Structure 1
Amino acid sequence: MDSTFPRARKPKLGYNTAQVESFLQVARRAYDGTARPDDEPLTSDRIRLTAFAMQKGGYSTTHVDQALERLEDAFAAQERQVAARLHGGEAWLTEARATAQVVSNRLARPEGHRFDRVAPLVRGYSTRDVDRFADKLTRYFSDGWPISIDDVRGVVFKTQRGGYREAQVDLLLDAVVDVMLAVR
């Protein structure tokens, strides 16, 4: 039996194959403009936030995640084209600049104070790791320092007690991805 993606070896967990296949069918229809009335609307943001249940011998998480990134890129390009036709290319870039300014303002905060902290006994992202990556992002926004969208999507932070609130850091990284996709 053919499968869309390689599978995780049997004792290992992978993504639920039925959920992945169902999602890909909806995505294909949405991209082709043949969405069904009962299909949930699909955007690049929604693709980025998609999650699947795990199952033994499911689809390889690495391969599916890479496909989702390519799919997100394709939807973002399509969204950019539609927005440019409807509102002009400058409106799209103006929105991206505004988001970039919000991100830059957050990154300009002093080290150790860029994001809210979790309680002292709760684990959050390592402030040192996040601040180090935030410095790279600051150089990207202020000086055009080279950093790829894959670097942002794939960054992993250690955890520490009393660290930065993960949800807040993740939202900022999503905003950075949005800006990078907008200016491609």
Structure 2
Amino acid sequence: MPSTFPRAHRGQLGYRIEQVEEFLKVARRAYDGAALPDDPPVSAETIRLTAFAMQKGGYSTAHVDGALERLEDAFAAEERQIAARLQGDEAWLAEARTTAQVVANRLSRPERARFDRVGPLVLGYRVDEVDRFADKLTRYFRDGWPIGVDDVRTVTFRAQRGGYREAQVDLVLDAVVDVMLAVR
């Protein structure tokens, strides 16, 4: 049976093949409007939040992640078209503007206080790195500074004790992606 994606190098970890294949089958049926009654709902957001177990010799994470990003883009475009038909373009854009304003308000908080912090013995995202990226996002929202959706999707931050709470930062980054996909 041919592989959908290249495999991780010998002895290296990759995504569990069966999970990736099953997810892609469900996503394909959802996109084609042929979802089965037992299929979980699939949206741009669920694609972004999808995670797979790891296995030696599994699918290359870089290749699968790239495919998931393209799939998320396709679902987001379809969701925008449906929402525009049901609500009108202006309502869709108003919702994106509201989300953008909430994000911009969060990012405009003072440095070192933009997000909740974890305890001093707990690892969180490195504050200076998150703040630096938050400044870039602020320029994107305020001045139209060029930054791509892939820059937001792939940003990584090192860990630090007492850093920013990861879940909170990730939620804001997901909202940024939603806004960027909505206004494409």
| TM-score interval (norm. to shorter) | over 0.9
- What residue number does 1:171 align with? 171
Provide the secondary structure at the position in 2 that maps to 1:55. Answer: strand
Q: Letter of the aligned partner of 2:15 in structure 1?
A: Y
Shift of 1:2: 1.2
Map of 2:117 onto structure 1: 117
SS in 2 for 1:124: strand
One-letter amino acid matched to 1:96: A
In the alignment, the residues of structure 1 paired with residue 9 and residue 62 of structure 2 have an alpha-carbon distance, to the nearest angstrom, of 13
Unaligned runs of 5+ in 1: none
Deviation (angstroms), 1:19: 0.5
What is the CA distance between 1:10 and its match in structure 2? 2.5
Aligned to 2:131: 131
Aligned equivalents of 1:49 and 1:153: distance in 2? 11
CA distance in 2 between counterparts of 1:48 and 1:94 reads 23
Equivalent residue for 2:150? 150
Give the structure 2 partner of residue 72 of structure 1. 72
The equivalent residue for 1:55 is 55
Q: What is the CA–CA distance in structure 2 between the aligned matches of 1:159 and 1:41, rounded to whole Å?
A: 33
What is the distance in 2 between the residues matched to 1:36 and 1:113? Answer: 46
Cα shift at 1:158 = 1.1
Distance 1:66 1:110 in 2: 34
Per the alignment, residue 22 of structure 2 pairs with 22
**Structure 2 segments unaligned to the other structure (5+ residues):** none
- 1:12 matched to 2:20: no
Write out aligned runs for 1:80-119 (5 A): 80-119=80-119
Q: Residues of 1 paired with 2:168 and 2:124: CA distance?
A: 10
Q: Secondary structure at the match of 2:55?
A: strand
For residue 100 of structure 1, report the CA deviation from its aligned partner: 0.2
Structure 1 consecutive aligned stretches of length 4 or more whose deviation exceeds 3 Å: none
Alpha-carbon deviations, 1:47-70, whole Å to 9, x = none?
A: 000011111100000000000000
The alpha-carbon deviation at position 159 of structure 1 amounts to: 1.1
Shift of 1:9: 1.7
Please give the secondary structure, in 1, of the residue aligned with 2:113: coil
Q: Distance in 2 between matches of 1:168 and 1:23?
A: 26
Deviations 1:145-181 (A, max 9, x none): 0000000001011111100000000000000000000
Aligned pairs, number: 184
TM-score (norm 2): 0.99
Cα distance in 2 between the residues matched to 1:44 and 1:62: 19
Aligned-partner residue type, residue 51 of structure 2: A
Percent identity between the two aligned chains: 76
1: CA distance, partners of 2:41 / 2:162: 38
Relative to the length of structure 1, the TM-score reads 0.99
Write the deviation string for residues 98-141 of structure 1: whole angstroms up to 9, x where unpaired. Answer: 00000000001000000000001111101100000000000000
